[in-house]
Structure 1
Amino acid sequence: MERTTRAQQQRRTRERLLAAGRAVFLRRGYLAATVEEVAAEAGYTRGALYKHFGGKEGLWLAIVEDRAESRLRALHDVLDRAADREDLLAALTPVDPPDEDAARWSAAAAEVLAATAGRPGAAAAVADAQRRHDERLAALLERHCARLRLRPAMPLPQVVVALGALGVGLALRRAVDPAADVAAATAGVLAAVFPAEGVRR
């Protein structure tokens, strides 16, 4: 039987803690979740969580970066197949209706922003993670806008920030008001940001 190396064990522990963190944050929200609860769900002690992530905030940031990486890869694949403006808009339009996890995740993210806003060190870590994601997304959109000869109505870094804030806000609105026409609001904003008259011939 092949023996598990220390590096493999550490990677497995990290992955199990990430999965447990995602489950607990979705179920309980960020503020109500505890290090002890996450560790127990993963089958470890709280010491393992502190060793790998430094605490609840570090775990959250690791989950966010893992989630962002996965979503960027998926968007990259979809945009590679985009043939025109309509395909790009469709790729950027959230699934409607959004799944329940998306609404819960947005609520947890809002809790994180509220909890870290008054703490410069924690706020800087959250902002840095978001900035890295935004820069990669803006670069991805820039490449495909150039390929599809699209001229956005505003600089792409600003587009990414605006769409990110819109996505969180609309997900929260939909969570408290299921009748809200989130799809129409998103479509209207995207159409304005990537206008048809902005297509270069």
Structure 2
Amino acid sequence: MARYAKPTRLTREQSRDLTRQRLLDAARGVFMKDGFAAASLEDITAAAGYTRGAFYSNFGSKLQLFLELLERDQESTMARMRAIFDNQALHGDMESYLMHYYRECYRDNGSHLLWSEAKLQATRDTRFRARFDALMRASLQATTTYIAALVERMGPPLPVSAAELALGLSALFNGLQFYCLLNPQAVTNELIKNILTNLCARSSTSLPTQTIPIGTAIPVGN
């Protein structure tokens, strides 16, 4: 007669973490489907299979949950970014790294709508805007740091600073991702490769200009 192991009983902390994660996952789906402003606590708790009491045992508000969701998503993106720029198997050219960066952190990132909702919310809520702006700055600074390391490793120096290039690439990729959502057949990987090839070629042959020191705070999300 076959014996079955008894299911492991979760500790109180594990149970709380599981509830919290399910609420976050449910909220992510609701926000991306209906938008942050239109989403209600009832929508989120129903999708997660919990009550309002369970929600307030884990989060003080819908906004607090949204910020944690963004923070976790940013941590995941930064982990992918580190893996890309630390990948020694990639070709030794800026274009190769930027293509991987676009594919991993933008093209294949399902969180674009989530962050678009956050940007809209930041324009309407000054308290949220301050926290969201800090997330955007951290992301931009991480990109700046990795681009600076790539330039130092590969050379020659770019005619713009790493901070300027990071901001420009973020704006470019966000715009391309938006168009990709509307018309994925139009924004192909081949098109992106052509854009980056020309961008890298022009950057390496242009005359030097005044640069911004790495680490300079650049306002984003305004």
| TM above 0.5 | yes
Q: Over the residues paired in the alignment, what is the CA RMSD in angstroms? A: 3.0
Q: What corresponds to 1:84 in structure 2?
A: 92
Bigger Rg, which one: 2
How many residue pairs get aligned? The number is: 194
Q: Establish whether residue 14 from structure 1 lines up as the match of residue 14 from structure 2.
A: no
TM-score by length of 2: 0.71
Match of 1:149 among 138, 155, 170: 155
SS in 2 for 1:117: helix
Contact 1:31 1:112 in 2 (8 A): no
Q: What corresponds to 2:211 in structure 1?
A: none
In 1, Cα distance between the equivalents of 2:178 and 2:146? 26
More helix by share: 1
Match of 2:199 among 192, 195, 198: 192
Change (3 A) 1:147 1:177: same
SS in 2 for 1:32: coil
Q: CA deviation at 1:31?
A: 2.8
SS in 1 for 2:103: coil
Q: CA deviation at 1:147?
A: 2.4
Q: What corresponds to 1:30 in structure 2?
A: 36
- For residue 102 of structure 2, what is the amino acid of its counterpart? T
SS in 1 for 2:42: helix
In 2, Cα distance between the equivalents of 1:65 and 1:190? 32
Match of 2:164 among 142, 154, 158: 158
Deviations 1:121-145 (A, max 9, x none): 1111111122122222322332233
Structure 2: unaligned runs, 5 residues or longer: 1-5, 207-222
How do residues 1-201 of structure 1 correspond to structure 2 at under 5 angstroms?
A: 3-81=9-87, 82-85=90-93, 86-94=95-103, 98=107, 102=110, 105-149=111-155, 151-181=157-187, 183=189, 184=191, 187-188=194-195, 191-192=198-199, 195-197=203-205
In 2, Cα distance between the equivalents of 1:50 and 1:197? 57
SS in 2 for 1:94: helix
Change (3 A) 1:50 1:128: farther
